[in-house]
Amino acid sequence: MSFETLNLHESLTRALTTAGYTAPTEVQQRAIPPALAGQDLMVSSSTGSGKTASIMLPALMRVLASSSQPRPPRGTVAGPRVLVLTPTRELAMQVAKAAMDYGRFVPHLSVCTVVGGVPYGLQLKQLRGPLDILIATPGRLIDHLESGKAQLGNVEMLVLDEADRMLDMGFIDPIHHIAKATPKARQTVMYSATF
């Protein structure tokens, strides 16, 4: 199978060529088509399998699809279309880097991370601005939700990355709380090494 058969936007196939990828990995072949079709998914896959691209390519396709819609008026906080929850700050940073790499040719792409252990200031500024993809650890996102600074009413796709680790770390209640703040009609995609 080649990347062409996945029918990705030209800006994404160009980024994949730039990255030197010639063909999708197994998880990419199996997870990207149903993700693009808007299905909810539970994917069993570990680090090193190419799972981050299988999350980010459909996420970026959503961003590209919404970029043809009118931008919200200045001063309104629209909130992200895609929300990715990760168990750790390190993983959030890796996922954000992948989003920027695969999205390098997507015009005006805005990716923000909201993680613990770093000052609130920059996060608050980014949460107020135009935002396509938000990557967050559950604890810090809950802080921003409770203070009314995070707006999740426009989330179309919720991704739980390393869901098994998040459950092991006791994030079940925060995840429920966050999911409740997103629209019911969203797509939910769950990645886990084990189920």
Chain contacts with ligand AMP (rule: CB under 6 A):
21, 24-25, 28, 47-53
From 72, 70, 29, select the one nearest 51 (Cα to Cα): 29
CB of 63 within 8 A of CB of 81? yes
If the CB atoms of residues 28 and 182 are measured against ligand AMP, the closer one turns out to be 28
If the CB atoms of residues 74 and 195 are measured against ligand AMP, the closer one turns out to be 195
If the CB atoms of residues 23 and 37 are measured against ligand AMP, the closer one turns out to be 23
Residue listed under structure tokens 């993983």: 91
Task: Report in angstroms how near the CB of residue 22 gets to ligand AMP at its nearest.
Answer: 7
Task: Report in angstroms how near the CB of residue 106 gets to ligand AMP at its nearest.
Answer: 17
Give the residue closest to ligand AMP by C-beta.
52
Distance CA 170, CA 138 (A): 10
Task: Report in angstroms how near the CB of residue 116 gets to ligand AMP at its nearest.
Answer: 22
Task: Report in angstroms how near the CB of residue 145 gets to ligand AMP at its nearest.
Answer: 27
Sequence-separated (6 or more) residues with CB below 8 Å from residue 46: 193
If the CB atoms of residues 57 and 134 are measured against ligand AMP, the closer one turns out to be 57
CB neighbour burial string for 39-59, b if at least 16 within 10 angstroms, e if fewer: eebebebeeebbbbbbbbbbb
